[in-house]
Amino acid sequence: MATRMRAIRKPERAPGLVVEEIPVPEIQPGEVLVRVEAASLCGTDLHIQQWDAWAQQRVSPPLTLGHEFAGTVVAVGRDVRHAHEGDYVSAESHVTCGMCFHCRTGQAHMCEQTRILGVDRPGAFAE
């Protein structure tokens, strides 16, 4: 497996994006690594690229963008039970705790620990 990959990134607190070479992430026990095969832009990505007032208040560069994607699982963490290498997947871009009242009662969209791919943590505009 490659050790570096290209990614579309917001390198600093200013308008614009760049394509950079970055390390392939090391997966954590409950994570999967996906080879991105399709991705799409959304308004959130444009806000970040333009560095408008919303982005200035919400995003902390440097950051890899992208939260709408699909691809093939190439590695799974040791605690992953429902995804396997070779699975073709898309992702729910809101990563929640899974333990709070809201998560346990089907209201994960209200989880106070929500972190969004490409906004709060590295996203999918990468290989």
Tell me which residues are annotated as active site. Answer: 44, 47
Pairwise CA distance, residues 88 & 37, whole Å: 9
Cβ atoms 101, 94 nearer than 8 A:
no
